[in-house]
Amino acid sequence: MKQSFNNIINSETLILVDFFAEWCGPCKTLAPILKDVKAELGDLIKIIKIDVDKNQELSAKYQVRGVPTMILFKKGNQLWKQSGVMDKNHIVSIIKSNL
């Protein structure tokens, strides 16, 4: 997983990583919001989900202390990080400001 994750976040495209857990209520709330974000932004963004319970090393590397945590990457650089549920318009505006 580590190598493919690094390949993904080193993309020219903005990558929004959603660190989540199956047991996390707010994560379930965020999932359809991220679908709406993807629907609005299309090819401008790629959204991937990382299960913190299955990827503890990755979660530790990026200091994910709570779920959901979203991290925005471009060319391997972390541009933004936020924990908790946010509304679609807020997420879209953050992504657009980093395009």
Alpha helices by DSSP H, listed for the chain, are 2-9, 25-41, 56-61, 88-97
Q: Which residues are catalytic?
A: 24, 27
Lookup: tokens for 24: 């996390």
